[in-house]
Amino acid sequence: MNTIALMASDVIYREACLKDKAGILDIGEMYNGMDYMRKRIDKLLTDDDILCCVAECDGKIVGFISMHFKEKCAVKCSLRVHADHRGQGIATSLSTHLIREAKKLRKDAMAKVLIVSMDTSFYRNQIEEELGSCAKYVCLQKTKIVSLRTNAALIKKFIHSSNELDDVVQHATEAEFVSFVELHNTLFRDDFVVCWAPYDSSSVRRLFEDFQSVIVGSSIGIFRMFPVTAGLRVDLDVFGLISAGDLSGVMLALCRCIAACPELTDAVEVVICVPLGFNLNNYDMFNEELRWTPGAYSECKERWLIQQNVASDA
């Protein structure tokens, strides 16, 4: 008998609960210690607006996925399968189970299902092969990803010795943030992504509450910082970029926030997302002082916002 088929048939798909927390974390660290799961697992398993499902084999959690219900859409994310159980169709079956259960709970939100993904061969093949309104996956937006790593000592040394760009860097107050968004409303139209979460024009004011932000000229950097297994991870989205000087200002402000972070210890991973056509290199980000090395996402060049058509899914 085919071993893979046997294992796949013995997998149970069900809704996750708090007792599954340790098993979900045991699926394994991802992204070279820069995974967000340990930071977010409690919220994922207790938030009434999030549905989580697991794949269980012989009493062991081998897969996990979640669906976040928003006012006008649902967001599918956090998919992961244990390395020993990949290639057996578990991810596909787990996704199908999640969609089926989500439709029972929030059919209104499931009319629009969004996925934030890195440029992967799976989604690229699906999008390129399917056309028209019945396509299962449609790419709504692409942004460029730059993934870099440095360490706490270099960040602190750089900030201690730097006094440039003070006049052009402005940490946004709520009034300044709202004013910038209203003035540059074309940057925040329809669906867009900030720190790996989709937003739309109706929810843009929530960004100030959810993240930190800095305004430099006609650009705004929106970011978050959180501790992970290997150190500190920082997700940064920059909108309205015109020049490398604006990006340098944003990066300087970001480095100051990192240096002041009480959870800063060792490695610092910065995942930067900028407009697809922006010409960016490490020297725009104080490479000589910070000595950037490739980060956990360095093999990925783009982040995609994808809409999944679930109308025909069971």
**67 CB burial (10 A radius; 0-12, 13-18, 19+):** buried
Angle between helices 152-161 and 244-260 (to 10 degrees): 110
**pLDDT < 50: residue spans in the chain:** 1-8, 165, 168
163 and 104 assigned to the same domain = no
76 and 202 assigned to the same domain = no
Q: pLDDT value at position 170?
A: 59
* Residue in 150, 56, 58, 49 with CA at minimum distance from that of residue 102: 49
The answer to the question of residue 240 being in a domain is: yes
158 and 92 assigned to the same domain = no
179 and 286 assigned to the same domain = yes
Q: pLDDT value at position 190?
A: 83
Average pLDDT, the chain: 86
The answer to the question of residue 314 being in a domain is: no
The answer to the question of residue 310 being in a domain is: no
Query: Tens of pLDDT along 193-232?
Result: 999 999 988 888 889 999 999 998 889 999 999 888 888 9
The answer to the question of residue 231 being in a domain is: yes
Strand partners, 272: 146, 236
The answer to the question of residue 167 being in a domain is: yes
The answer to the question of residue 122 being in a domain is: no
Secondary structure E strands in the chain = 12-15, 50-57, 60-69, 74-81, 113-118, 137-151, 169-171, 191-194, 197-200, 212-216, 219-228, 231-239, 267-275, 293-294, 302-308
Supply the range of the domain harboring residue 11: 3-111
* Whole-structure pTM value: 0.87
Q: pLDDT value at position 164?
A: 53
172 and 286 assigned to the same domain = yes
* Residue in 237, 17, 33 with CA at minimum distance from that of residue 116: 237
189 and 55 assigned to the same domain = no
* Residue in 144, 149, 194 with CA at minimum distance from that of residue 303: 144
The answer to the question of residue 50 being in a domain is: yes
CATH number for the domain spanning 229: value is: 3.40.630
Q: pLDDT value at position 123?
A: 76
Q: pLDDT value at position 121?
A: 77
What burial letters (b/e) apply to 83-111, b meaning 16+ CB within 10 Å?
eebeebbbbeebbebbbebbbeebeebbe
150 and 298 assigned to the same domain = yes
Q: pLDDT value at position 280?
A: 73
166 and 285 assigned to the same domain = yes
107 and 224 assigned to the same domain = no
107 and 146 assigned to the same domain = no
The answer to the question of residue 135 being in a domain is: no
Q: How far, in Å, CA of 272 to CA of 253, rounded?
A: 14
CATH number for the domain spanning 65: value is: 3.40.630.30
Q: pLDDT value at position 4?
A: 37
Report whether 187 contacts 180 (CB < 8 A): no
**Tally of structural domains, the chain:** 2
Domain boundary among 62, 90, 111: 111
Angle of CA points 273, 278, 282, to nearest 5°: 70
107 and 197 assigned to the same domain = no
What six digits make up the tokens of 99? 């969609």
Q: pLDDT value at position 202?
A: 82
84 and 149 assigned to the same domain = no
Q: pLDDT value at position 206?
A: 86
Q: pLDDT value at position 129?
A: 64
